[in-house]
Structure 1
Amino acid sequence: MGLAAKRVVVFDDDQDLLTIFRFLFEDAGCVVESFSNCDDVVAKVKQAAPDLILMDNWIPSVGGEVAVKLLKADPDLKRIPVIYISANNDVKEIAARAGADSFMPKPFEFDDLLSMAIELVDKSSHQ
């Protein structure tokens, strides 16, 4: 199906990465909304109504792991796929603990991230 007209929310406090994510997903036809902190993460995601969430591990103030747990605990949001992004060596374990749908270690290839995003969005739209 692809990502055209899909809504992507990015949580990352690195402005350079936010710019890259915005360019990458807007180029794929998405509407992108970004946040540099995960305060009020549930309210932000409900307001944005995304098809996909990218979550950085080291994001103020509670961190990505707690933020994803909050999202996955909400019955209205738990089906939205989350890609956990981190430079940590144990990103796979952190993503699993958080309940993320997938993970992407930094640094990453743009094509790999887009392929993962398409796969997760397609899968969630068929649930």
Structure 2
Amino acid sequence: MMSKRILIFDDDVDILSICSFILEEQGWDVHTSPHCNDIVNNVRNIQPDVILMDNWIPDSGGVIATQTLKKEDDLKNIPVIYFSANNDIQSLATQAGADTYLEKPFDLTELEMVIERATVSKVA
């Protein structure tokens, strides 16, 4: 079976390393990016099954980055999980067109559940 691929956009190296460690333990093929420049080509090259998108990602920010992906016919069906410590994360995620969201700080169970739900609904 192919391993599931996840792409994490976050400029916080601690979050990237924690998420990478946890998800690799669970058999994910983890790709990370500290910025969302050239995001369409980046996502096309990696072809992730799911994307974790930080709100404060340089340069354009998570809302524009997510909207950009959702405009592309070949990428719009990849579930985007919006994650942020922002207290209006729900409206940001909606504005971005993200599929779901995860509040920071999150615990690992929440992380796993949100990813699980996002990827299961994609298959269904």
TM interval, short-chain normalised: over 0.9
- Identity across matched positions, percent: 44
Aligned to 2:55: 57
Residues of 1 paired with 2:54 and 2:115: CA distance?
15
Aligned to 2:110: 112
Count how many residue pairs are aligned between Structure 1 and Structure 2. Answer: 123
Aligned-residue RMSD, C-alpha: 0.9
What displacement does 1:49 show? 0.3
* Counterpart pick for 1:15 among 13, 16, 21: 13
Gapped runs of 5+ residues in structure 1?
none
Range with greater deviation from structure 2 (116-125 or 93-102): 116-125
Give the TM-score normalised by structure 1: 0.94
Is the counterpart of residue 44 in structure 1 residue 42 in structure 2? Answer: yes
Give the TM-score normalised by structure 2: 0.97
Aligned to 1:80: 78
Opposite residue 84 of structure 1, the aligned amino acid is Y
* Counterpart pick for 2:25 among 14, 24, 27: 27
Q: Runs of 4 or more off by more than 3 Å in structure 1?
A: none
Q: Secondary structure at the match of 2:102?
A: strand
Residues of 1 paired with 2:94 and 2:22: CA distance?
25
